[in-house]
Structure 1
């Protein structure tokens, strides 16, 4: 119960405040759109750039961490894709979107604040190691499979260009790549620039959580609820279970295990709906999965915090 009160509820209270503000028309939809553009295109890329630029890559990029988390994520994609095709009889393009919903956990807006509140700021190194690969990996998988499906398996040499263009149109990926370049080059940022980045970074998560609540207020639980529950089951239980099992198998350190499992246990992120919108497929299901999954994370994160050492 203490973890629920001290760690989880403060994060979801900010989300709930954003939801209430938009629902009661205290904050406009246009304001939410502007706030989310600020956080997604500027503040969070600054946070990721600053964190990754200063990350100790040799200590943080543990192959066991990457293997455990991303094997779980890829398993979620496969389960979502084939579950949608075989069990729910959805068209192949819808199935790719549903697989993406099971693949893309909300590693930044939920994973970072929950991990920080549970284990402290020093516990975030493994989170940032996961996040450095998260958007490139997930968009790379989702876009590649969708483009192959749309081309009926004969995408040709233009496929790589389309995948890279779609990925590098994402400000989060740009922030990650620039942070990695600064880290690997050993460039020291001027203090005044670092201070500015720190100011932007401190605004990122609170503003993004409030904005996420506002975005969720515009969603309606209208998709196929059986399919939505299936997505939530894969995202909130199966992915972290696989990550936890593989972490034990490869003797992943406790600190990295906590970050990996808690990140894996997050609901589908808003990027799942963005991906659905890119292709105009399964948009209602994706929106409903983000809404329902985020609400269920209050309980499932509490359980996972109790299970983790």
Structure 2
């Protein structure tokens, strides 16, 4: 257990450093946003490019992994949407945002740093694969449904087109495109450029955790126990369970891929979740859910690592 805490504790200490920096006034909200922009527009794309160019593309783009992780995420998203929209009779935009919180993990800012410490270099490859699922499947589905709920008069085509235009400007997807292009064409990255990419990629994990910690400062919420509770349970428990079941249906997949998928799925929701929530009528709930999920994930991730170690999927 001490070995497991040795992995998870530094990660959450870095989150705590970000929180303390905001609490003490050392860094202001605007400055923290600048660090977040650096991570999103520079460090994470560099990390994805490095992951896609370090080994043959056919070894990276694992269809079995994409199917299993995508299936688990779709199941949780659909279940969350059915629960909120059909059973609880909540508006479509609110239901879509709750389902998004359950099914889209914070792969870049939490999942990757945790997985990198646990499984090592394969974490970067899994980050790229998970980003494909989240940015091309789960997030677009949630945004399209939320826009349909917000704009009852808008056509489905208009909503899809607007969402596609927004995704085309996503820096992580641009990094994915560049990495795949380099891998397909066999281009050789010049030494100084390659070194710069590696330096930026190495900064992604620590800087992302710092931003998450700073973003948690000042979040408050009351009277939201049911909604917050079901989002957090969906994200930290149901999402990993659904991903696990999906991977068990895939024959002959290496344990390191299963372990990595579970670590990513067990991460809290995407970092921009409160921003989406604010836009679609779920501001307080989404911010509080991210705060609770981030704190709770220290315990759930530690327990998951312990369980996978006992199972033999991890060697500590």
Provide the TM-score with structure 2 as the length reference: 0.90
1:156 & 1:123 partners in 2: Cα distance? Answer: 36
Secondary structure at the counterpart of residue 272 of structure 2: helix
Q: 1:160 to 1:53 in 2, by over 3 A?
A: farther
RMSD, aligned CA = 2.0
Written as runs of structure 1 = structure 2, the 5 A alignment for 1:77-116 is 77-116=77-116
Asked if 1:176 corresponds to 2:176, the answer is yes
Q: Distance in 2 between matches of 1:293 and 1:153?
A: 35
Deviation at 1:119, TM superposition (A): 2.0
Residues 147 and 181 of structure 1: CA distance in aligned 2, closer, same or farther (over 3 Å): farther
For 2:153 and 2:306, locate their aligned partners in 1 and report how far apart those are by CA, in whole Å.
Answer: 45
Does the residue aligned with 1:73 lie in a helix, a strand or coil? helix
Residues 69, 261 of structure 1: 8 Å contact kept: no
- Whether the aligned pair in 1 keeps the contact of 2:146 and 2:280 (CA below 8 Å) is no
Q: CA deviation at 1:225?
A: 1.8
Match of 1:191 in 2: 191
Per the alignment, residue 43 of structure 2 pairs with: 43
**Whole-angstrom distance in 1 between the partners of 2:261 and 2:196:** 30
Q: Distance in 1 between matches of 2:294 and 2:55?
A: 29
Structure 2 residue runs without a partner (length 5+): none
Alignment correspondent of 1:258: 259
Q: Structure 1, residues 109-149: CA drift from partner, whole Å, max 9, x if none?
A: 11111111112224543343223443222222222222344
Which residue number in structure 2 is paired with residue 118 of structure 1? 118
Calculate the TM-score normalised by the size of structure 1: 0.92
Conserved in 2, the CA contact under 8 Å of 1:15 and 1:211? Answer: yes
Q: Secondary structure at the match of 2:40?
A: helix
Match of 2:145 in 1: 145
**Residues 223 and 202 (structure 1 numbering): CA distance in 2 closer, same or farther, change over 3 Å?**
farther
Report the CA distance between 1:153 and its aligned residue. 8.6
What's the secondary structure of 2:105's corresponding residue?
Answer: coil
1:56 matched residue in structure 2: 56
Q: Unpaired segments of 5 or more residues in structure 1? A: none
Partner of residue 34, structure 1: 34
Instruction: Give the count of matched residue pairs.
Output: 308
